[in-house]
Structure 1
Amino acid sequence: MKPKGELMRKVGVVTEGESEVRGLPMIYPQLEQRLDLQILRPIRAAVDPLAPVAVLARGARTGIQMAFARGAQLVVFLVDREMTQTAASVRAAEIEAKLRSDIDDRIRVVVKDRSFENWLIASPESFRAQKARYARPERIEKSAVPDKADKVVDPCALINSAMAKGQYDKTGDAPKILASADISSMAANSRSFRRFLAVLGDPLFSTGSRRFKAS
């Protein structure tokens, strides 16, 4: 912990997804305790994650500037990889270089591989905790563990297959899923989530996120 009187580092989050805006704060307490920082409420940037890098940078500018205006000392821009063939790490490096050049060098980029739902399925505990909603949570665990969540091509379909009835609702279900999530499980099963922890300053992933390191 920081010495008494020393302020915590503030981190801003800008993302293209409404489900991220609603859901990510559910894991903030775990992240803040683990990393001894303060994460500001996510800001949505209405951008197409598959847009050219220059277009993405323009679309993210206002949200990033808002985060800095709110006191962020670092801003993390989250964007989906979706079905692009470019590797997540390469895509992130391209976008980050453009944002740092055009806006501020205190910006990091994380590409969710392939979407926010890949992060959700990385914590099977979340689905086991909601038995009335997810009657077949073992399907999530079988597909995501160990360290396979990012490899699931259609995580929304996987979540639907685990449901007792109805269909997955991005903005309604994502916060409920993350409310029961374990960020250690998410790190164990999603490389792109490990990348998120790394840019937030997690020492476990200071040398890279390729493999999970047990805490």
Structure 2
Amino acid sequence: MARIGIVVEGNGEVPAFKQLIPKLTSPNGILGQPLRADLQPKATPAQVAASAKAAIGYFCRRNVDLIVVLIDLEDNPSASTFSKNLQAAFTKLYPHIAVEVVVKNSCVENWLIADVDALRKQPKRFAVTPALVRSVCPDKADSLDAQTLLNKAALKFEYDKGADPQKIMSHQNPLEVAQHSRSFRRFLRVIGNPDYQHQSRSPV
């Protein structure tokens, strides 16, 4: 069994992923406390890798076997190219530890909206319309302007990048997210989820 540490980029993602991690199925041990690094998707791959130095060092001192770095695609034109270039930069800078880069396509909001039932479970916060469901299902979450859709679904005030991710992930089912987000399926494959150990192209 490998020990896995997770690095995230947004302030709201640390408490959010603390909610999600205990629900992840993996033969490996995933540390329950993710760490934030100031990852900037528009920076060079070398700069992105360097910005994670403190988090990488912390996890190395905790004797982890694998560090998974989660970063937004944002407006980079190709998720595969972006991931490949980042992977090379992390491997070069940290040759002593295994690092896997997972690119969220195109941001964490796409993972948040992929499980519409998690929004339905907050009826005072989000209104889930048939149009929203059709936008997400089946397997279309990665292609959406997810933040705009969350803003439209939000009640009383717009989607809050600080507070809402934690609330949404507390209600999420990781396998339901995987049904509608290929980039999330890639994350599950990297951590060793048995449903996606062989492929992450298609939902199971």
* TM value normalised by structure 1: 0.88
- 1:139 CA drift (Å): 4.1
* Equivalent in the alignment of 2:125: 133
The separation in 2 between residues aligned to 1:78 and 1:207, in whole angstroms, is 20
Single out whichever of 204-213 and 89-98 deviates more from structure 2: 204-213
The separation in 1 between residues aligned to 2:12 and 2:117, in whole angstroms, is 19
* Equivalent in the alignment of 2:189: 198
Q: Deviations over 1:148-192 (max 9, x none)?
A: 00000x211101111222011112011100111111111110000
Single out whichever of 106-115 and 128-137 deviates more from structure 2: 128-137
Structure 2 spans left out of the alignment, 5+ residues: none
Would you say the 8 A contact 2:66–2:98 is kept in 1? yes
* Equivalent in the alignment of 1:106: 98
- 1:136 CA drift (Å): 3.2
| More contact order relative to length (CA 8 Å, sep ≥ 6) | 2
* TM value normalised by structure 2: 0.93
Would you say the 8 A contact 2:27–2:193 is kept in 1? no
- In the alignment of these two chains, the number of paired residues is 202
The separation in 1 between residues aligned to 2:27 and 2:190, in whole angstroms, is 14
Match of 1:36 among 4, 10, 27: 27
Q: Deviations over 1:96-135 (max 9, x none)?
A: 1221122034110000000000000011011100111112
Which amino acid counterpart does residue 62 of structure 1 have in structure 2? A
Would you say the 8 A contact 1:57–1:99 is kept in 2? yes
The separation in 1 between residues aligned to 2:137 and 2:152, in whole angstroms, is 17
Would you say the 8 A contact 1:139–1:161 is kept in 2? no
Which amino acid counterpart does residue 25 of structure 1 have in structure 2? K
The separation in 2 between residues aligned to 1:47 and 1:94, in whole angstroms, is 14
Q: Deviations over 1:26-85 (max 9, x none)?
A: 111211xx2133322111111311111111111112211211212321100111000111
The separation in 2 between residues aligned to 1:161 and 1:29, in whole angstroms, is 30
Which amino acid counterpart does residue 106 of structure 1 have in structure 2? A
The separation in 1 between residues aligned to 2:12 and 2:28, in whole angstroms, is 23
Give 3-state SS (helix, strand or coil) of 1:210's partner.
coil
The separation in 2 between residues aligned to 1:194 and 1:136, in whole angstroms, is 23
Determine if the alignment matches structure 1 residue 88 to structure 2 residue 99: no
Determine if the alignment matches structure 1 residue 54 to structure 2 residue 46: yes
Runs of 4+ in structure 1 off by over 6 angstroms are none
* Equivalent in the alignment of 1:162: 153
The separation in 2 between residues aligned to 1:50 and 1:178, in whole angstroms, is 26
Structure 1 spans left out of the alignment, 5+ residues: 1-7
| CA root-mean-square deviation | 1.5
Determine if the alignment matches structure 1 residue 176 to structure 2 residue 167: yes
Determine if the alignment matches structure 1 residue 72 to structure 2 residue 64: yes
